[in-house]
Amino acid sequence: MDAVRWTPWVLLAVLTLLGVNVLWVLAVRWWYRLRTDEPERVKVRCQDGWELTVHVRRAAHRRFEEPVLLCHGLAANRCTFDFEPPYSLAHALSEAGFDCFSVEWRGIGHSRASPRGHRWADVTVDELITQDGPALIELALAQTGARRAFWVGHSLGGLVGYAVAQGPAGTKLAGLLALGSPVFFPPDPLLRRLIYVGTMAAWPRGFRNEWLSRSLAPYLGYVTLPLSDVIINPKHILPPIQRKVYANMMASMSRNVLRQFQDWINHDAFRSFDGSVDWRAGLAKLELPVMVMGGSADRLASPKNLRAQFELVGSTDKKLHVFGCERGDKMNYGHGDLLFGTGAPLEVQPEIRDWLAARATPLRQGEELETQASPAPVSLTTP
């Protein structure tokens, strides 16, 4: 009888807490919103019917033919690269004369909606490589009239680029820059435990961590979250930037993507979901220019990891750059510091800009390329 009497009150308390949390998250999202001009949004439909949203930041004075594709990593969205200046590579490169295309992978942000017959829970890294990557390239080329494009990827975004470059779409890339991308996964008990817990928490569909990150965002800088040093050097990212990053950049992870990462970490592999394609072995066959970049204090893509993948890449035009105090940088860089560290605008962004500019095709003054006239979505579906 007592249990029956208390049940409505417990239910009311739970609903009240949920309501307060909803209001809190909405307030956090508004308070920490990015205060910069919104990029242009364009759509592209992949061969399997999934429609992606790509955020375009065009150069005010375009100096180079090749557009730059900016590809985010796991649990992130387009704000990885299109943030508030000076912590925005999209702004920096567009000011340098490049048209920039920041993707949101399927199931993420504005690309979340799945077409009929597809489920977000079934998405693997394989689809990002065979579907999203080629669609992104075709969209950028159609929009700019260019023959080839540059690929800049952070973490998973760099891994997807490595694999795309090994397929048919690789001939349309002018160069690839992998920023903090861990091609090797040596034994690490902590990472194994983390990915195991994440995979379990993602049952049955995925881990939608935007809600959690926005709930915690206002406390960052005052409180250091456990294990935060795995992805950043907290001393290198200003507290206000940490709060904005957590409020805007974090995104969901499908369970299958986490299962695929679990396979990579448990078996030190970089391969397809079914294990039939070894993308790490394919790095030796790459011929396009490659830049391997990372941080000296990155626990996910360590300097040793970076050097090993650099040696494995077959291109004759390749470069390795590890940011940290040893080479005279402001601080030792962690995984996310490469984008949001206080030294990133002065140390990381110029290296990326100069590497791209040295390999880009300059446009003569007044030169225009044939571009897509209609703003309608580009479709790669077959008739």
Tens of pLDDT along the chain (383 residues)? 455 566 777 788 888 888 888 899 999 999 999 999 999 999 999 999 999 999 999 999 999 999 999 999 999 999 999 999 999 999 999 999 999 999 999 999 999 999 988 999 899 999 999 999 999 999 999 999 999 999 999 999 999 999 999 999 999 999 999 999 999 998 888 888 988 888 988 888 888 888 889 999 999 988 887 777 778 888 899 999 999 999 999 998 999 999 999 999 999 999 999 999 999 999 999 999 999 999 999 999 999 999 999 999 999 999 999 999 998 998 999 999 999 999 999 999 999 999 999 999 999 876 667 665 434 444 443 32
Q: Where are the beta strands (DSSP E) in 228-313?
A: 253-254, 290-295
* Alpha carbons 150 and 138: distance in angstroms, whole number: 12
What residue spans define the domains of the chain?
A: 1-31, 39-379
What is the pTM for the complete model shown?
A: 0.93
Distance between CA atoms of residues 54 and 254, nearest Å: 20
The CA-atom distances, in angstroms, between 326 and each of 102, 232, 296, 303, 338 are 32, 18, 8, 12, 16
User: For the domain with range 39-379, which CATH number is right: 3.40.250.10, 3.40.50.1820, 3.40.980.10, 3.90.1170.40?
Assistant: 3.40.50.1820
- Kindly give the pairing relationship between strand 100-104 and strand 149-154: unpaired
**Can you say whether residue 366 is alpha, beta or left, with left for phi > 0 and alpha for psi between -120 and 50 degrees?**
left
Tokens at residue 357, please?
């500019």
